[in-house]
């Protein structure tokens, strides 16, 4: 449940009301990325680019989709091989890849990476998502870069550049020589992986970026609080409506510890109404900001709203009255599930607490992702 309190200021001497809060579930969305600090994400992006440069080296990408010895138009030096299936049509990896050791016998267990791990045609963001989906957490990434999740020395042989070829395999390659990955060692790759995982706060056993379904940890995420405020009043012959036009967004700026502040934003508060033969027009400006923390899966903090430039004009057949209305500032407690689209629901849908009429209030705050 959330607790969010707003005391809307009614112009032209309307009573100030206190609103209690209740939580409603907005459409289920992605969790707020727990690592939105721009500096750390830029560091992570730079580090990951060094990792993907290794992924695209022929000694890596050839086994991750670039070479297909089971295709009729393969460029595989050893020719075309057949996929062996069982009676139910499932691939028998042991039988299918057994023939590979005829040439790649220097590395027992030689096989191709599955289609789901293909690097071909993927940019850095797509490769990041692939790691999140296939390796899940830091342990999976480091284990893969060290032993390929099972003890077969694919990564080690990849850095040596031998392709695991025995004498028969080497004889099929014109002017064969090892082609090691230059400018990077396996140990350095593992160190880069640890640095990247540290930058995106994923060394604690949790999923990479906190959520394998999203691109958190792959691209910078930016969030804002959307504030909605609309009031409709019918009291003792006075009808009046006011509210933000449009709903303002309070852009949140996080540091690497999950603390946030916001950029200042302003919102227009036009109003219009009638009383008997007279018309009522009002105006004002709210300046909004926020501060708090992302903690335990919740956005907690304070929204500050300062109202200024208030004025009201009552126009009647025989003239008009213009008046200024004092502004003011008020803080509101903020406590929401850290999920994009999560919304607080505030207000008095049909208030009976106003003598001689009703006041309808729609005031809520929603977490939105702005890129």
Q: Which of 306, 277, 301, 280 is nearest to 291 (CA)?
A: 301
Mean pLDDT for all residues in the chain: 84
| Inside any domain, residue 12 | no
| Inside any domain, residue 7 | no
Write down the pLDDT at residue 355. Answer: 64
> Per-residue pLDDT tens for 202-238?
888 889 988 888 888 898 889 999 999 999 988 888 8
Q: If you count DSSP H runs as helices and E runs as strands, how many of each does the chain have, helices first?
A: 8, 13
DSSP code, position 137:
B
| Inside any domain, residue 9 | no
Write down the pLDDT at residue 310. Answer: 84
Dig out the tokens for 368 from the structure. Answer: 């939105």
Residues 195, 242, single domain; the answer is no
Residues 295, 198, single domain; the answer is no
Write down the pLDDT at residue 162. Answer: 94
What's the rounded mean pLDDT across residues 45-70? 93
> Per-residue pLDDT tens for 305-358?
998 888 888 899 888 787 776 777 788 889 999 999 999 876 555 554 556 688
- Model confidence at 45, pLDDT cuts 50, 70, 90, reads very high
Percent of the chain with pLDDT over 70: 89
Q: What is the CATH number of the domain that holds 25?
A: 2.40.160
> Per-residue pLDDT tens for 173-204?
889 999 999 999 999 999 999 999 999 888 88
Residues 171, 305, single domain; the answer is no
| Cα–Cα distance for residue pair 202/140, rounded to 1 Å | 11
| Domain end position, chosen among 210, 241, 276 | 210
Write down the pLDDT at residue 347. Answer: 52
| Inside any domain, residue 274 | yes
| Inside any domain, residue 10 | no
Residues 117, 261, single domain; the answer is no
Percent of the chain with pLDDT over 90: 44
> Per-residue pLDDT tens for 287-305?
999 999 988 889 999 999 9
Residues 247, 335, single domain; the answer is yes
Residues 270, 195, single domain; the answer is no
| Cα–Cα distance for residue pair 264/184, rounded to 1 Å | 46
Residues 87, 169, single domain; the answer is yes
Examine the pLDDT at 26 and tell me if it is beyond 50. no
| Domain end position, chosen among 163, 186, 210 | 210
Q: Which residue has the tokens 């109404």?
A: 273
| Inside any domain, residue 193 | yes
Residues 159, 236, single domain; the answer is no
| Cα–Cα distance for residue pair 367/31, rounded to 1 Å | 10
The domain tally of the chain equals 2
Residues 27, 42, single domain; the answer is no
Cβ-proximal residues to 205 (8 Å cutoff; 6+ apart), any chain: 137, 138, 139
Host domain of residue 249: 21-32+221-369
Write down the pLDDT at residue 52. Answer: 96
Instruction: Mean pLDDT check: name the lowest of 20-24, 137-141, 154-158, 241-245.
Output: 20-24
Residues 238, 338, single domain; the answer is yes
* 155-158 long-range contacts, CB within 8 A, separation 24+: 155/186, 155/189, 156/186, 157/106, 157/107, 158/57, 158/59, 158/60, 158/63
User: Is the pLDDT higher at 247 or at 38?
Assistant: 247
| Inside any domain, residue 129 | yes
User: Is the pLDDT higher at 169 or at 15?
Assistant: 169
| Domain end position, chosen among 210, 230, 255 | 210
| Inside any domain, residue 4 | no
């Amino acid at each position: 449940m959330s607790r969010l309190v707003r005391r809307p200021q009614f112009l032209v001497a309307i009573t100030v009301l206190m609103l209690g809060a209740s939580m409603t579930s907005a459409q289920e969305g992605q969790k707020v990325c727990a690592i939105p600090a721009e500096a750390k994400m830029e560091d992570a992006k730079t580090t990951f680019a060094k990792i993907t440069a290794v992924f695209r080296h022929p000694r890596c990408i050839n086994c991750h989709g670039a070479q297909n010895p089971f295709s009729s138009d393969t460029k595989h030096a050893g020719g075309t091989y057949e996929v062996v299936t069982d009676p139910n049509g499932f691939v028998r990896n042991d039988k299918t890849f057994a023939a590979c050791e005829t040439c790649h016998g220097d590395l027992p267990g030689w096989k191709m990476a599955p289609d789901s791990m293909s690097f071909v045609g993927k940019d850095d963001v797509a490769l990041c998502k692939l790691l999140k989906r296939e390796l899940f957490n830091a342990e999976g990434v480091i284990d893969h870069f060290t032993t390929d999740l099972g003890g077969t020395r694919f990564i080690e042989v990849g850095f040596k550049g031998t392709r695991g070829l025995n004498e028969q395999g080497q004889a099929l390659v014109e002017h064969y020589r090892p082609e090691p990955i230059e400018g990077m060692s396996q140990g350095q790759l593992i160190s880069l992986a640890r640095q990247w995982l540290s930058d995106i706060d994923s060394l604690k056993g949790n999923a990479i970026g906190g959520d394998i379904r999203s691109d958190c940890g792959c691209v910078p995420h930016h969030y804002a609080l959307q504030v909605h405020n609309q009031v409709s009043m019918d009291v003792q012959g006075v009808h009046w409506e006011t509210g933000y036009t449009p709903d303002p967004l309070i852009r949140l700026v996080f540091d690497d510890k999950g603390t946030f502040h916001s950029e200042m934003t302003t919102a227009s508060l036009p109003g219009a109404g009638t009383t008997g033969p007279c018309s009522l027009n009002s105006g004002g400006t709210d300046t909004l900001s926020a501060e708090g923390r992302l903690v335990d899966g919740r956005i907690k903090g304070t929204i500050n709203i300062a109202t200024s430039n208030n004025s009201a004009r009552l126009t009647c057949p025989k003239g008009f009255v213009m008046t200024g209305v004092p502004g003011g500032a008020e803080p509101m407690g903020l406590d929401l599930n850290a999920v994009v689209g999560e919304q607080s629901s505030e207000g008095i849908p049909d208030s009976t607490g106003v003598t001689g009429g009703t006041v309808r209030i729609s005031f809520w705050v929603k977490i939105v992702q702005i890129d």
